[in-house]
């Protein structure tokens, strides 16, 4: 009998041969986004906070490809800076949430018994509060800034990873190779670190990538509610929030471009994560979803 992990890579022809347009487009867009947020702020010395009241609410033109907002700030550099903040929050929060979730899930799964029950009830407790409400609670405890937003996303997003990792560890724990390690004198710690964690890392990594778009949306939602970053700081949520008034007056560009900057990169990252998921396990395509 072949090990299921090796079988999925070798035997499923779909994952190897079918050219995936979605994957390529996602990869190209993600690369462009990462390049933009890393290079543009340094290469092009545009001031994303420069106010020009004489040029307020200009529609897109050669001078201002994305137009200007209600106080005359150029929307193109502002959107890039906003995307930068959003991506930073997304990646930092996804990483931290994955580390916490993996640790909790691995401990619960590997120890079992009381530790498992207590930790999983803790996860249930956190899940029983609506995400946004808990997130708002966390950000309101601190001064506005990037880190409280990251913390709020982490507090609400480590739960699913903990569940996934625990389930995976539980199914691995009854494998004969774990029995063999126990019989070979391995301590609990060694069994967990050397045999269980390496086996769940691909799943945890996938969960982390899937979490990035989620975290970006969470940041935008908090900023849109006025609870995220300070209003002067360019953030996609802030920009959509302040553009609401002009949208009703018929000026569509201050909403459209930041909105697209939220939607397109998140779809691209989600597309990449989807491709990774299918590579890992084509039969479990529907299990982890955004």
Partner 1 sequence: MLELSRITAGYDRRAPVVREVSLTVGAGRSVGLLGPSGCGKSTLARVAALLHRPDSGTVVIDGVPVRGWRHRAPREQRTAFGVVFQQPRLAADPRMRLADLIAEPLRATGRRDEAAAAVAGLAGRVGLSRELLGRRPHEVSDGQLQRACLARALVLRPRWLICDEMTAMLDASTSAALVAAVETYRAESGAGLLAVGHDSVLLNRWCDETVHWDELPRESRSGV
Write out the residues near partner 1 by the rule CB under 8 A: 1-3, 5-6, 175-177, 179-188, 190, 194-195, 198-199
Q: Which is nearer to partner 1, 182 or 275 (CB)?
A: 182
User: For residues 95 and 189, what is the distance between their CA atoms, to the nearest angstrom?
Assistant: 23
CB of 2 to partner 1, least distance (A): 7
Q: Which is nearer to partner 1, 188 or 244 (CB)?
A: 188
Q: Within a 10 A sphere around the Cβ of 86, how many other Cβ atoms? A: 31
Q: Which is nearer to partner 1, 1 or 53 (CB)?
A: 1
CB of 173 to partner 1, least distance (A): 10
CB-count burial class (<10 Å; 0-12, 13-18, 19+) for 62: exposed
Residue 258: which of 93, 27, 95, 73 has the closest Cα?
73
In sign, the C-alpha dihedral spanning 234, 239, 241, 243 is: positive
CB of 199 to partner 1, least distance (A): 7
Q: Which is nearer to partner 1, 24 or 194 (CB)?
A: 194
CB of 17 to partner 1, least distance (A): 20
CA distances from 64 to 22, 57, 81, 225, 246 (A): 31, 10, 15, 27, 17
CB of 168 to partner 1, least distance (A): 14
Residue matched to tokens 């050669």: 62
Q: Which is nearer to partner 1, 1 or 248 (CB)?
A: 1
CB of 245 to partner 1, least distance (A): 57
CB of 1 to partner 1, least distance (A): 6
User: For residues 278 and 290, what is the distance between their CA atoms, to the nearest angstrom?
Assistant: 14
CB of 184 to partner 1, least distance (A): 3
Q: Which is nearer to partner 1, 137 or 177 (CB)?
A: 177
Which residues are CB-contacts of 60 (< 8 A; sequence separation ≥ 6)? 66, 67, 253
Q: Say if CB 222 and CB 135 are below 8 A apart.
A: yes
Q: Which is nearer to partner 1, 60 or 202 (CB)?
A: 202
Q: Which is nearer to partner 1, 111 or 267 (CB)?
A: 111
């Amino acid at each position: 009998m072949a090990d299921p992990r090796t079988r999925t890579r070798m035997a499923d022809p779909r994952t190897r041969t079918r050219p995936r347009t979605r994957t390529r487009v996602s990869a190209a867009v993600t690369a462009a986004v990462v390049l933009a947020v890393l290079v543009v702020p340094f290469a092009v010395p545009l001031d994303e906070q420069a106010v020009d009241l004489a040029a307020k609410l200009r529609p897109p033109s050669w001078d201002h490809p994305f137009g200007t907002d209600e106080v005359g700030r150029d929307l193109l550099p502002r959107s890039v800076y906003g995307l930068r903040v959003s991506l930073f929050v997304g990646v930092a929060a996804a990483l931290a949430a994955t580390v916490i979730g993996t640790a909790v899930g691995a401990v619960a799964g590997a120890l079992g018994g009381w530790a498992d029950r207590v930790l999983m009830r803790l996860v249930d407790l956190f899940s029983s509060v609506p995400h946004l409400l808990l997130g708002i609670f966390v950000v309101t405890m601190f001064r506005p800034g990037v880190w409280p937003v990251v913390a709020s996303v982490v507090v609400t997003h480590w739960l699913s990873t903990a569940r996934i990792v625990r389930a995976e560890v539980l199914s691995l724990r009854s494998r004969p190779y774990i029995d063999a390690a126990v019989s070979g004198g391995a301590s609990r710690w060694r069994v967990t670190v050397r045999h269980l964690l390496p086996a769940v890392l691909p799943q945890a990594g996938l969960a982390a990538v899937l979490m990035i778009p989620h975290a970006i949306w969470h940041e935008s939602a908090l900023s849109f509610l006025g609870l995220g970053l300070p209003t002067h700081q360019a953030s996609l949520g802030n920009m959509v929030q302040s553009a609401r008034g002009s949208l009703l007056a018929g000026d569509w560009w201050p909403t459209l471009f930041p909105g697209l900057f939220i939607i397109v990169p998140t779809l691209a990252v989600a597309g990449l994560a989807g491709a990774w998921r299918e590579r890992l396990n084509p039969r479990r395509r529907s299990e982890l979803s955004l």
